[in-house]
Structure formats: C-alpha cells, structure tokens
Amino acid sequence: MTEHGSIALNGFQFTLLSAGPKDGEPVILLHGFPQFADVWTQLLATLGRIGFRAVALDQRGYCASARPVETESYGVAELTSDVIALANALEWPGFHLIGHDWGGFIAWQLAAHHPDRVRSLSVLSTARIDAFLDAVASDPDQKARSQRRTW
C-alpha cells in the first residue's frame, strides 16, 4: 500500500509517496521530466511488499509548495541537497538510490558526491554525465541528436 505524505526540506514543503515497513532497507526514487513521484507507484508497492522502505519525492519545481522563483535555485547542488535532506530527515545514514531521466542525472551526481551515503545506484535512461559529454564531443551523430530541438 502506497502512503501519501509531505516533508519539510531546505525551507520548502515537499510531497512524497512511500511504501514498506518503517524499518525496511531504505530506498529513494527520483522521477524524470515531466513526471512526478507517482510514476513510481507500482515499484513502490513492490519494494514495500518485499520489505524495503521506499520513498519517492516530488522534486523541487514539481511540487507546488517547492517551486522557488529564482532559476539558480534549481542547480544540481540544490537538487542533490534536497535528497540528502530527505535522507537526513528520515534518519537514513545510507540508502539505495533509483533515478530515471532527469532524476537519473541527479542520482549520478548525488552518488558521485556522497558515495558514503549511497549503498547502491540504479539509473534508468540516463548516461553518466561524463560519458554523455564525451560522446557529444567525439561522436558527430550523438552531437547532432543532442542539439536537435523537438519541442
């Protein structure tokens, strides 16, 4: 069963979904763009059923009560800080981290800067940023695809 809740982090009120026993092995899930935490509903339920304590946060900018006006408030340091603040608020010294799309990028960065906190990392649909930038610089096809505007 998925639970709905909210939590104060870094001066904002974030909404979240969670599942599983309170003492279960901790897992944080980060959604992509333009999704919300509810994209993880089925995985949350599955993780909870097998004994993990899983939490999916509506990240900064997606949650109505966590939308700063200043664009500089959406830097990687601020976004990863929200996740660390979540883990701290939940009293999780370490946790498994799952990210998709933009959440995957944040997950890569968080794991790189906080390896002492991340027990395992699973990233869907997002290359490690160094590998992606190398491909853009060295592969003409990847460079062209990365510059193509489809919106």
Q: Mind listing the pLDDT tens digit for each residue in 61-74?
A: 998 999 999 999 99
Q: Which residue has the higher pLDDT, 141 or 26?
A: 26
What is the mean pLDDT of the segment spanning 47-56? 98
Backbone φ, ψ for residue 114 (5° rounding): -135, 55
What is the mean pLDDT of the segment spanning 110-136? 87
Backbone φ, ψ for residue 69 (5° rounding): -80, -35
SS3 content of the chain, % helix, strand, coil (to 5): 40, 25, 35
Count of domains forming the chain: 1
Residue numbers of the domain that contains 60: 3-147
So what's the pLDDT on residue 125? 81
Mark residue 52 as left, alpha or beta (left: phi above 0; alpha: psi -120 to 50; beta: remaining).
Answer: beta
Please give the C-alpha separations between residue 61 and each of 5, 35, 134, in angstroms, as whole numbers: 17, 11, 29
So what's the pLDDT on residue 151? 42
CATH number assigned to the domain comprising residue 122: 3.40.50.1820
So what's the pLDDT on residue 149? 52
